[in-house]
């Protein structure tokens, strides 16, 4: 089973970026844990700070993998293009946010992807990614 993890802007700074909100672990380090936890899964990890590159990745992995875990980061709240890309693909998609976006600033309450994904997880820290992976595995059975 193939799963793609797609992270949006500034998530390359995890560990350094606002650690009180996002924690102090770089995503690459967490990724190693995820790979060890789910050895049966073929993971692809993609991160970009560029909106169009995220659209391209969703299009690419959306027809060639069995699931996507997507954290569009700030583009969640602004990008019609990312929402449209998610709506266009066939792979199931779980939206993940490290922080509890609904408990923060007003502008973070709007998500252009929530309405087109299979489900959303927010506020559970990096653990949200493994919960999303577990859900995708269960769906695949």
Q: Please give the angle made by the CA atoms of 102, 103 and 108, to the nearest 5 degrees.
A: 50
Give the C-alpha separation, 103 to 42, whole Å: 34
Active site residue 61: no
Using rule CB under 6 A, residue 101 touches ligand DQA: yes
CB of 39 to ligand DQA, least distance (A): 26
Using rule CB under 6 A, residue 133 touches ligand DQA: no
Nearer to ligand DQA, 55 or 101 (CB): 101
CB of 118 to ligand DQA, least distance (A): 17
Cα end-to-end span (Å), the chain: 10
Q: Which helix (H) or strand (E) holds 86?
A: helix 80-88
Active site residue 97: yes
- The contact set with ligand DQA (CB under 6 A) reads 10, 71, 73-74, 76, 97-99, 101, 108
């Amino acid at each position: 089973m193939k799963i793609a993890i797609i992270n949006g802007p500034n998530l390359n700074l995890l560990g350094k970026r606002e650690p009180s909100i996002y924690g102090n672990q770089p995503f690459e380090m967490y990724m190693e844990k995820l790979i060890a936890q789910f050895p049966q899964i073929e993971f692809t990890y993609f991160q970009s700070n560029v909106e169009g590159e995220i659209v391209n990745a969703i299009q690419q992995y959306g027809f060639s993998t069995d699931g996507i875990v997507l954290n569009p980061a700030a583009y969640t709240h602004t990008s019609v293009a990312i929402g449209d890309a998610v709506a266009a693909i066939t792979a199931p998609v779980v939206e993940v946010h490290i922080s509890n976006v609904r408990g923060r600033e007003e502008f973070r309450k709007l998500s252009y992807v929530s309405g087109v994904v299979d489900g959303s997880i927010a506020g559970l820290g990096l653990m949200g990614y493994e919960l999303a992976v577990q859900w995708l595995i269960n769906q695949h059975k």
